[in-house]
Amino acid sequence: SAKYPLVVSTWPFKEAVRAAWRAVHNNNASAVDAVVEGCSACEELRCDGTVGAGGSPDENGETTIDAMIMNGVTMEVGAVAAMRYVRDGIRAAQLVMLYTQHTMLVGEKASTFAISMGLPGPTNLSSAESLEKWTKWKEDKCQPNFRKNVFPADSCGPYYPEDAVDSSKMTCSMVNMVDPNESGSFVDRHNHDTIAMAVIDNKGHIAAGTSTNGATFKIPGRVGDGPIAGSSAYADTEVGACGATGDGDIMMRFLPCYQVVESMRLGMQPKLAAEDAISRITRKFPNFIGAVFAINKDGVHAGACHGWTFQYSVRSPGMDDVEVFTVLP
């Protein structure tokens, strides 16, 4: 049977996969356009409450967006990081790829660009849910969050490091919480912050992309793996593609999706390539929580994970609807 078109995404984001499938299968869209349709559907549906508007707030209660798109034929990439006030992360990333010579735009400047290119905004990215989550977190003494062990353990401040240059600038949430040797305190089974998606179109061309609010209660300004090509996703039409989810602060040090694609280029099967990429991380960070899926250009798919049970969704010509695959750690 035909090997493609093929759509794969992290987590049971079935509607996102269906949207990409409609584009690539029913409408003969390119792999890039199908990834945009798929991730965009997730942004609109606010998949898991952690993609698109209204998702994971930062320490200040604000929701921002990281997104990336990669064309595996031309190796062009577009990305936005910590983008504010604009809902359409993946479309903004695509505009960067299509209409600029740059690869990544950040923060409010990314918003200005996206709006100047016609995307709706500025809009408030908070929702009742994200604000409630944030309020509860503050009441709960701001734990967990991502600052290292320099503050009294059981309070929300206004504590600050004694050598801080300007203590008046420190925010209330600067508390002690994360053991620097631990990771993944923000990701758990109910907090699937990221859609990473890969598509093979009717021509056999491959693209990959991501969209996420990043880490819940992150320090404002934090950028994760989401917009980093090779970390959250990677695609090369000659080889295959990969998508990742989990603790991006750790993953972005290892470029696991670049690793997966390069291992497959050297002949590894997707399953082994995925497991190898995860084990390179866990050898250094045994408490790491994360996962990757891998596809090769023949449409073979596999996943690997650590610290949680991972699920990824697939739609291929042999299936009647999206199928969800479960990977045990």
Of 23 and 83, the one with the shorter C-beta distance to ligand SD4 is 83
Please report, as residue ranges, which positions from 43 to 102 form the binding site for ligand SD4 (by CB under 6 A). none
Stretch that binds ligand SD4, among 102-110, 144-152, 186-194, 261-269 (CB under 6 A): 186-194
Q: Is 215 in the site for ligand SD4 (CB under 6 A)?
A: yes
Q: How many CB atoms lie within 10 A of CB 121?
A: 18
Ramachandran sector of residue 221 (left: φ over 0; alpha: ψ -120 to 50; beta: rest) = left
Q: CB nearest ligand SD4: which residue? A: 248
Closest CA to 39 of 5, 74, 84, 88: 88
Closest approach, Cβ 27 to ligand SD4, in A, equals 29
Q: Is 194 in the site for ligand SD4 (CB under 6 A)?
A: yes
CA distance 83 to 58: 13
| Active-site residue, 63 included | no
Size of the site for ligand SD4 (CB under 6 A): 14
Q: Which residue among 226, 227, 256, 307 contacts ligand SD4 (CB under 6 A)? A: 226
Q: Is 281 in the site for ligand SD4 (CB under 6 A)?
A: no
Q: State the binding site for substrate.
A: 222-225, 245-248
Q: Which residue among 227, 246, 270, 303 contacts ligand SD4 (CB under 6 A)? A: 246
Q: Is 313 in the site for ligand SD4 (CB under 6 A)?
A: no
Closest approach, Cβ 73 to ligand SD4, in A, equals 25
Contact 215, 224 (CB under 8 A): yes
Stretch that binds ligand SD4, among 121-129, 138-146, 167-175, 243-251 (CB under 6 A): 243-251
Q: How many CB atoms lie within 10 A of CB 163?
A: 7
* Residues 201, 90, 26: CA angle, nearest 5 degrees: 30
Name the one residue in this structure whose structure tokens are 């991006």.
Answer: 248
Q: Which residue among 121, 224, 230, 303 contacts ligand SD4 (CB under 6 A)? A: 224
CA distance 12 to 311: 6
SS3 content of the chain, % helix, strand, coil (to 5): 30, 20, 50
Q: Is 294 in the site for ligand SD4 (CB under 6 A)?
A: no
Name the one residue in this structure whose structure tokens are 């002690």.
Answer: 176
Of 115 and 219, the one with the shorter C-beta distance to ligand SD4 is 219
Q: How many CB atoms lie within 10 A of CB 28?
A: 13
Of 36 and 215, the one with the shorter C-beta distance to ligand SD4 is 215
Q: Is 275 in the site for ligand SD4 (CB under 6 A)?
A: no
CA distance 193 to 104: 20
Residue from 50, 63, 64, 194 carrying the catalytic annotation: 194
With a CB cutoff of 8 Å and minimum separation 6, the contacts of 82 are: 64, 65, 66, 106, 107, 110, 214, 221, 222, 223
Q: Is 225 in the site for ligand SD4 (CB under 6 A)?
A: yes
Q: Which residue among 40, 245, 313, 316 contacts ligand SD4 (CB under 6 A)? A: 245
Stretch that binds ligand SD4, among 31-39, 101-109, 121-129, 209-217 (CB under 6 A): 209-217
240-246 sheet: strands from edge to edge: 233-236, 240-246, 290-296, 301-306
Write out the catalytic residue numbers: 194
Q: Which parts of this chain interact with ligand SD4 (CB under 6 A)?
A: 187, 192-194, 212, 214-215, 224-226, 245-248
